Amino acid sequence: MEAIYNYWGYYLPIQRGMPKNCSADLSRIVRHVDRVIDSKNKRELQALQDMFGLGGLEHADDFAS
């Protein structure tokens, strides 16, 4: 067993097995979350975390996981 910290390919088989409209929507969501986290805009990140019921998290990495 090997732990891989940033294994982007984990969800790839799931995404490939989804209907195309669902996989496209999932890709857009991931891009949006990544953009918000990368922007370092605390207010926008807080609003996004609140939308998912995760407003109390301290670290963006915890939210994205």
Q: Is this prediction's pTM over 0.75?
A: no
Residue written as token pair 């109390």: 56
pLDDT tens for residues 30-61? 899 999 999 999 999 999 999 989 999 888 88
pLDDT at 14 over 80: yes
- Which is it for the CA torsion 49, 53, 59, 62, positive or negative? negative
Residue 54 three-state SS: coil
**What whole-number distance in Å separates Cα of residue 14 and Cα of residue 25?**
13
pLDDT tens for residues 16-36? 888 888 888 888 988 999 999
How many other C-beta atoms are found inside a 10 Å radius of the C-beta of residue 36? 19
